[in-house]
Structure 1
Amino acid sequence: MSFYTSLSGLKGAQTEMSVVSNNIANAGSIGFKRSKAEFGDIFAASPNQSTKTVAGQGTRLSGITQQFTQGSYESSEKTFDMAVIGDGMFVVKGEAPRNQVTYTRNGSFSPLEDGRVVDSTGATLQLLPVDADGNVTSRDLASTQDFVVPQHAPGNPDAALVNISIGLDGLATATFADGSDQTLGKIAMATFPAMEGLRPIGDSHWQSTGDSGPPTIDAATNGPMGSIQSGALERSNVDITEELVMLIAAQRNFQANAKAIEGASALTQTIIGLR
């Protein structure tokens, strides 16, 4: 039994090293959230046994949870580089025919030739519709629209685009050469009842699940959505020093369990007399 107990410890230490290694590898990834391996003990006894005389039977992986704490920020020269100061996530939609909706903290967006503002995966940033005063008129996924940068003023093809500004509340405004402005909408943001239940799909993108609960869609500066800082990017929340300490601890746990297996093997050889 000691062989299997130590084997579970080896597997646990190996899993922890894999998780820590992934955190370190993504220390420079924009919007990345570190993960943490959580373990539980294995204990079994029959009803007629005294638990005072029964040893544990090892450990098991309870789950790998993501830590959605705030990352540090770096300044940028681009208007479409955006950082979220709060719990909100950007809502992006993939290309047709799937039109897959995902959520991200990676605010590195760029406009394409057709005007669509997309992220590094090609998914288009979504906007909430607003009225003439900039107030959101609908707050659900079905009402969101693609963020498309206009090339000229409405009704005046000779007035070219001069500037795009994005406010703390996510309000996107286009300014044209004739001095006119056009309100495009507010950047759609989402929060979840249980952020740790989101399903990671890579590239700092997540999908909603039954564990995360349905998304709450709204604009920035409302509730826990936080605010949007244009001209900045959120870096990963990985602390290299902390990760290295955890990596050393996982290595020591692995070595200790390997020694326990070696000791059990030597004891078995002595008792049975096999070499």
Structure 2
Amino acid sequence: MAFYTSITGLTGAQTELGTIANNVANVGTNGFKRSRVSFGDIISNSPLQNASRTVGSGTAVRAITQQFQQGPIESSDSALDLAISGQGFFAVKGSGGAGAISFTRNGGFGMTPDRYVVDTAGRRLQLFPTTTDGSLLTNDLASTVSARLPLTSGIPQATTGIKLSVNLPADAVIIPDKPIYTATNPYAFNAEDPATFNNSTSVTIYDSLGNPLSANIYYVKTGVPAPGDLTHKWTAHVIVGGAELEIGGTAGIPMQFDPSGDLVNPASAVVFDSMLPAGGGQPLILSLDHGIATTQQSGPFSRAAIEQDGFPSGQLESVSIDASGTLRASFTNGEIQTLGKVAVAIFSNPQGLKQVGDASFVVTPDSGPAITGEAGRNGIGSILSGSLERSNVDLTVELVGLIAAQRNFQANAKALETDTTLLQTIINLR
């Protein structure tokens, strides 16, 4: 009987050696949780056996459990490297986004050629859907989506209005008459001839496809105060893509300034007739608003402010993830898109999770269902972007345990050897 008892001890010591060896081997695995072997003694008895004379029958491995104490956190240069400070697991879905969801503490995420965010095993990071301002819509695991970074913002906006404030020089001369002078056209404006305008400025605008267009505004002084009309007169010409914009089929915006140099006409934004951009897309309907800051004062021509409300498709510029797990993408056109919140879960009994490799686990009846929520709330740890959680294996502890397991193995082997010697002695009795 002692022979078989020693075998159980050898088996147990061998299991412990293998577990410790696995811990040591994974000391460099991000998010790895060390395992610990739990043993129980084996007792064989019968109803009629004297309880005070019961002899054990060895040991058995009752469980190999993970120790979920947090490992040390180190900084990283990648915004997609994530760590959870506190309880929780990242939710990831199998390669290609198929299969069951598994859970991991390994936050070393990267990106595939098709821009999905994946872990080292190719499983896609899952996100809870949110509103555009980052508010959580649902924390149901069945509603998660795979994290994917868009290459472009994909939402160009055509310019609909230009707001401009300038100062036109009060001493500007009236443009002299041209050879094609007529009673209704005392001068002929030509954007290619600087002699036909006093000043000019420009701004880049965008069509509905996000193509840039140059909008050039030319100012021509056409009149000075006269009896019965004390206003200074100018005309503004707007040329977009080589074509002059018109209002009701007429080119030019008449402008009037009072004797103090304040703009009195037009008093609001002027809307031009629609034009079809050369690059295609929807017709462009543009307005020009000089506002109340446009003046005619002494001094040179100056532009105080100019802005337009269009923008092109932007290229992905940066990615950020805050403590609550909100994933945002910034683009070169200034647009910021909220892609979702990193799905995080905790368990009532994490030791009941089943290991599936790559520092990942799946749900079992012993672990209980996943309890999901927003990072940083209701007992779930907050997310640290640009950080990685290292393995929680302490080499000093493991090496000491390795020596102890080795000694246990040797002691059981010695007991087995002793039992064999006794058996041989009995067999050799004459």
Matches within 5 A, 1:220-231: 220-231=375-386
Q: Report the counterpart of residue 159 of structure 2 in structure 1.
A: none
Q: Is the 8 A contact 2:96 2:123 kept in 1?
A: no
Matches within 5 A, 1:62-73: 62-73=62-73
Which whole-Å CA distance do the structure 2 matches of 1:164 and 1:45 have between them?
65
* Residue 164 (structure 1) aligned with residue 319 (structure 2): yes
Q: Report the counterpart of residue 102 of structure 1 in structure 2.
A: 102
Q: Report the counterpart of residue 37 of structure 1 in structure 2.
A: 37
How far 1:96 moved relative to its partner? 4.8
Aligned residues: CA RMSD? 1.6
* Residue 15 (structure 1) aligned with residue 15 (structure 2): yes
Structure 2: unaligned runs, 5 residues or longer: 157-311
Which whole-Å CA distance do the structure 1 matches of 2:46 and 2:10 have between them?
27
Give the TM-score, by structure 2 length. 0.62
Q: Report the counterpart of residue 182 of structure 1 in structure 2.
A: 337
Q: Is the 8 A contact 2:90 2:342 kept in 1?
A: yes
Q: Report the counterpart of residue 152 of structure 1 in structure 2.
A: 152
- Which ranges of 4 or more aligned residues in structure 1 deviate by more than 3 Å? 95-98
More moved, 174-183 vs 12-21:
174-183
Which whole-Å CA distance do the structure 2 matches of 1:183 and 1:120 have between them?
24
Which has the larger Rg? 2
Change in CA separation of 1:184 and 1:96 when aligned onto 2, cut-off 3 Å: closer
Which whole-Å CA distance do the structure 2 matches of 1:23 and 1:258 have between them?
24
Q: Report the counterpart of residue 192 of structure 1 in structure 2.
A: 347
Structure 1: unaligned runs, 5 residues or longer: none
Letter in 2 for 1:168: A
* Residue 112 (structure 1) aligned with residue 112 (structure 2): yes
* Residue 133 (structure 1) aligned with residue 138 (structure 2): no
Letter in 1 for 2:79: T
Q: Structure 2 residue aligned with 1:240, among 378, 383, 395? A: 395
Q: Is the 8 A contact 2:132 2:337 kept in 1?
A: no
Encode CA deviations 1:23-64: one digit per residue, 9 max, x unaligned.
000011111111011100011211112121121111111011
More helix by share: 1
Which whole-Å CA distance do the structure 1 matches of 2:26 and 2:95 have between them?
26
Which whole-Å CA distance do the structure 2 matches of 1:138 and 1:182 have between them?
18
Letter in 2 for 1:185: G
Which whole-Å CA distance do the structure 2 matches of 1:45 and 1:147 have between them?
58
More moved, 13-22 vs 134-143:
134-143
Which whole-Å CA distance do the structure 2 matches of 1:219 and 1:63 have between them?
32
Q: Report the counterpart of residue 212 of structure 1 in structure 2.
A: 367
How far 1:219 moved relative to its partner? 1.9
Encode CA deviations 1:189-236: one digit per residue, 9 max, x unaligned.
011111111111111111111111111121211122201111110011
Which whole-Å CA distance do the structure 2 matches of 1:74 and 1:185 have between them?
25
Give the TM-score, by structure 1 length. 0.96
More moved, 108-117 vs 246-255:
108-117
Q: Report the counterpart of residue 87 of structure 2 in structure 1.
A: 87
More moved, 94-103 vs 28-37:
94-103
Which whole-Å CA distance do the structure 2 matches of 1:123 and 1:269 have between them?
58
How far 1:97 moved relative to its partner? 7.8
How far 1:144 moved relative to its partner? 0.7
Encode CA deviations 1:94-140: one digit per residue, 9 max, x unaligned.
23584331111110111222221111111111111112332211111
Letter in 1 for 2:413: A
How far 1:90 moved relative to its partner? 0.6
* Residue 273 (structure 1) aligned with residue 422 (structure 2): no
Give the % identical residues: 49
More moved, 223-232 vs 265-274:
265-274
Which whole-Å CA distance do the structure 2 matches of 1:62 and 1:120 have between them?
32
Letter in 2 for 1:102: S
Letter in 2 for 1:180: E
More moved, 233-242 vs 222-231:
222-231
Q: Is the 8 A contact 2:89 2:345 kept in 1?
A: yes
Change in CA separation of 1:77 and 1:97 when aligned onto 2, cut-off 3 Å: closer
Letter in 2 for 1:20: I
